[in-house]
Structure 1
Amino acid sequence: MKDLIIFGNGQVAELVYYMFNHDSDYRPVAFTVDEEYIKEEQLLGLPVIPFHNIVETLSPENHDMFVAISFTNVNKLRAQKVSVCKKKGYKLATYVSSKATTFPDLTVGKNCLILEDNTIQPFVTIADNVFLWSGNHIGHHTSIENHCFIASHVVISGSVHVGSHTFIGVNATLRDNIKIGKDNVIGAGCVILKDTDDENVFVASPAKLANIPSSRLKRI
């Protein structure tokens, strides 16, 4: 098993620790963050090491790294830390859940997180630093560029191109044969039916609150 350092000390880092520890060929041995963000010296029984000391403490020759940061600043913070880790000489790990449905031709980049119940059809390409939370459908011949975050239960139909640094919220749906621009934010429940430009933001209509309480409903 290869030793793994996890960059981060929040809930995403804890989840990443669990997944790698129970469902991979990696053995997490430490967490690391910038020193000003260290809350405790240990997390889940492992040391939390200041990032500026990480190379001297746990060398890149013997350890890989995973950057466990969510979609802060439309994924740009995670992208920045991935770049810094690479410059320090660390190889970046990728996690693909054993409970995801994939096919032999799947291409996945570095520092990717693909959680359980994702269905990824043939001819799909996923670039570096892409997070797929649980339960998504990624249709055939789709490509996802670097530094994207796709939340749970998203449907991406066939032959879709997703631009870099894009965030797609829960239960969003993208029709087939469209191109999503870079730095898009597609909110929960949105339905995207045509190409988008860079830096587009989409917000779905929220549910409407009825003017009666549930205790007065006669048919339910």
Structure 2
Amino acid sequence: MKSVIIIGNSITAEVLYNLIKEDDRYKVKCFAVDREFMSGNKFQGLKVVDINDIPQLFNNTEVKIIIAVGYNNVNQDREVIYSRLRDLNFEIETYIHQDALVHTKDIGNGCIILPGSVVDPCCKIGENTVIWSNVICAHHTIIEDNCWVASGSILSGQTKIGKNTFIGVGAIIVNEVNIGEYNIIGAGSLITKNTGDNEVYLTKAGERIPFDSFNYAKVYGY
């Protein structure tokens, strides 16, 4: 059983903790954040320590780190934390949930792959990348470092996702499309052509139509 420290004390950390505590491969020792983000000395019933105190409190041969930090600032906040902890000579654990179907070993350090996701053979996942639940990464997909792929997204065969890109819930990237670095691909977007760096793609939000639901159901058979 591996002893781990979870970095974070917000929603992402809460989700990861509740998955990991049911996983008999791991034991969570504590949470850690920068002192300015401490809202108390406990989170989910466990101690919260300052990231800077980790080397004094723990031996780097005895604990590993799981980074449960969100995608703020186009994933750059998580990237900075990853670099800091690596410089402290702590191993950044790649956490793959047991209900994820992962058919490649080409996965970088510090990745997170959550339940229901499928990663096909011949895919390559860079360091410090998060693949949330129920994502499909089809064959020969390449995801570079520090990306976040949200629930239900589909990355079709031979797609490439540039570093620090955020892929929103339910987005679809068509086969052989290259997504640039530092992109934001909004929820539900369908991307059929290559994108440049630092670009944003959003789909139009659903609009209310002039029917109530019961009349609409009568007309359209719902």
Taking structure 1 as the reference length, the TM-score comes to 0.95
Q: Show CA shifts across 1:92-127 (max 9, x none).
A: 011111111122x33111111100111111100101
- Give yes or no for the alignment of 1:15 onto 2:18: no
Q: Residue 143 of structure 1 contacts residue 159 of structure 1 at CA under 8 Å; is this kept in 2?
A: yes
Structure 1 gap ranges (5+): none
Counterpart residue number, 1:187: 186
For residues 44 and 204 of structure 1, the distance between their equivalents in structure 2, rounded to whole angstroms, comes to 36
Counterpart residue number, 2:113: 114
| Aligned amino acid, residue 68 of structure 1 | A
Q: Residue 66 of structure 2 contacts residue 95 of structure 2 at CA under 8 Å; is this kept in 1?
A: no
For residues 182 and 176 of structure 1, the distance between their equivalents in structure 2, rounded to whole angstroms, comes to 18
SS in 2 for 1:108: coil
SS in 2 for 1:111: coil
After superposition, the CA RMSD in angstroms is 1.3
| Aligned amino acid, residue 91 of structure 1 | E
| Moved beyond 4 Å, runs of 4+ | none
For residues 124 and 58 of structure 2, the distance between their equivalents in structure 1, rounded to whole angstroms, comes to 32
Counterpart residue number, 1:177: 176
- Give yes or no for the alignment of 1:87 onto 2:69: no
For residues 111 and 102 of structure 1, the distance between their equivalents in structure 2, rounded to whole angstroms, comes to 15
The Cα shift of 1:171 comes to: 1.0
Q: How many residues align?
A: 219
Counterpart residue number, 2:57: 57
Structure 2 gap ranges (5+): none
For residues 109 and 19 of structure 1, the distance between their equivalents in structure 2, rounded to whole angstroms, comes to 21
The Cα shift of 1:215 comes to: 4.2
| Aligned amino acid, residue 62 of structure 2 | N
For residues 134 and 105 of structure 2, the distance between their equivalents in structure 1, rounded to whole angstroms, comes to 17
Q: Identity of counterpart residues, as a percentage?
A: 31
SS in 1 for 2:28: strand
